[in-house]
């Protein structure tokens, strides 16, 4: 299944999973699904290896993947209210690029603004 445009804000309806990505690559590149799967896996594995090493990955027109480090802090157990020590950690983070952000914004239908003085919907 190729997803060419987003028509709904419902994530479950528009999410592309890995197997659909492989199918799209196979169709666009006119290669077998096995070959497309190998390519997709190679790219993802290379990206995961780089992120684990702490490298930054920047893909022009898409965004960048970085590792953010968070220091230790004292948190609170929501059930008991007990204070707990949260250890420092590193987490992968994706920052969307300007070009993609603009393309998504332009493709998203904007809700019409209510005329001045008109009551808001649902009121």
User: Across all residues in the chain, what is the average pLDDT?
Assistant: 85
| Count of domains for the chain | 1
41 domain residue, yes or no: yes
- Pair 47, 55: CB distance under 8 Å: no
In a domain, 1, yes or no: no
| 30-71 confidence digits (pLDDT tens) | 999 999 999 999 999 999 999 999 999 999 999 999 999 999
pLDDT, residue 107, reads 86
Relative orientation angle of helices 33-52 and 18-29, to the nearest 10 degrees? 120
In a domain, 93, yes or no: no
Residue 101 within a domain:
no
Does residue 91 carry a pLDDT above 50?
Answer: yes
C-alpha 41/C-alpha 24 separation (Å) is 14
Q: What is the mean pLDDT of residues 69-98?
A: 95
pLDDT of residue 86: 94
pLDDT at 81: 93
Q: Which domain holds residue 38?
A: 16-55
Asked if 25 and 14 count as a contact pair (C-beta separation under 8 A), the reply is no
Residue 92 lies in a domain: no
60 belongs to a structural domain? no
């Amino acid at each position: 299944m190729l997803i060419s445009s987003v028509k709904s804000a419902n994530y479950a309806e528009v999410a592309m999973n890995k197997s659909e990505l492989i199918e799209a690559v196979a169709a666009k590149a006119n290669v077998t699904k096995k070959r497309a799967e190998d390519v997709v896996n190679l790219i993802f594995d290379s990206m995961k290896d780089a992120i684990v090493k702490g490298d930054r990955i920047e893909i022009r027109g898409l965004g960048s993947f970085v590792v953010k480090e968070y220091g230790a802090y004292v948190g609170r157990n929501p059930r008991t209210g007990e204070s707990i020590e949260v250890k420092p950690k590193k987490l992968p983070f994706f920052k969307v690029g300007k070009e993609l952000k603009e393309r998504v914004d332009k493709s998203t239908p904007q809700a019409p603004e209510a005329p001045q003085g008109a009551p808001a919907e649902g009121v």
